[in-house]
């Protein structure tokens, strides 16, 4: 029963994490990295079905909620976001496409899941860089809630299974990386950077 509750709480927490993020997008204080959210929205469903094939149950709630939210943010990022044609975005996107091709070639769900995590991480790197360069362009509470959702997703697995734990653990680490980047950006005075870099 506790695993079921953790699964539902994980999904709810992930969905709630998008609320302040969307609010700040419309307030023009948060500028989502377009390629990051494109990668995340494309891969959310792959992660979902890979975990499903491995026998996940309540922990799937978090993954499904994440995929839905990522797609919605990407749609908003098309108009309100940052990036897309700069060098690091292009490199990351090409890397993601190549990894996606490798995923297509494998019939093993576990291998597919780790390829997905690698691809997803390319989007995280882009957002980490942007978060350090312009920490006020990200919503701290959203990433904190995403971290909490990942933690609850780990609890929802209900057993020590590295394959099933891989994605929620990754969500925790990815969120923590963005939060640390924001913190370091503030500490080293990156807020002084002109908004023009994000136009």
Question: Considering all CA atoms of the chain, what is the largest pairwise distance in Å, rounded to the nearest integer?
Answer: 51
Q: Please report the pLDDT score of residue 194 as a whole number.
A: 40
Residues of the chain whose pLDDT is less than 50? Answer: 192-199
The owner of tokens 């991480």 is: 121
CB contact at 8 A, 149 and 14: yes
pLDDT at 16: 93
Q: Is residue 129 classed exposed, middle or buried when 0-12, 13-18 and 19+ CB atoms within 10 A define those classes?
A: middle
**Domain spans in the chain, listed from the N-terminal domain onward:** 2-198
The pLDDT value given to residue 192: 45
Residues 127-163: pLDDT tens digits? 999 999 999 999 999 999 999 999 998 988 878 888 8
């Amino acid at each position: 029963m506790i695993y079921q509750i953790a699964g539902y709480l994980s999904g709810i927490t992930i969905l709630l994490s998008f609320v302040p993020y969307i609010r700040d997008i419309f307030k023009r204080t948060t500028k989502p990295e377009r390629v990051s959210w494109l990668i995340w929205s494309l891969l959310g469903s792959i992660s979902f079905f890979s975990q499903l094939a491995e026998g996940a149950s309540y922990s799937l709630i978090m993954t499904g909620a994440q995929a839905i939210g990522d797609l919605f943010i990407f749609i908003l990022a098309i108009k309100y976001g940052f990036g897309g044609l700069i060098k690091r975005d292009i490199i990351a996107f090409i890397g993601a496409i190549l990894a996606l091709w490798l995923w297509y070639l494998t019939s093993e769900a576990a291998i597919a899941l780790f390829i997905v995590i690698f691809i997803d991480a390319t989007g995280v790197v882009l957002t980490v860089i942007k978060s350090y360069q312009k920490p006020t362009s990200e919503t701290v509470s959203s990433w904190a809630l995403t971290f909490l959702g990942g933690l609850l997703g780990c609890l929802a697995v209900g057993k020590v299974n590295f394959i099933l734990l891989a994605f929620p653990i990754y969500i925790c680490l990815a969120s923590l990386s963005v939060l640390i980047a924001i913190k370091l950006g503030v500490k080293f005075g990156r807020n002084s950077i002109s908004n023009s870099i994000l136009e």
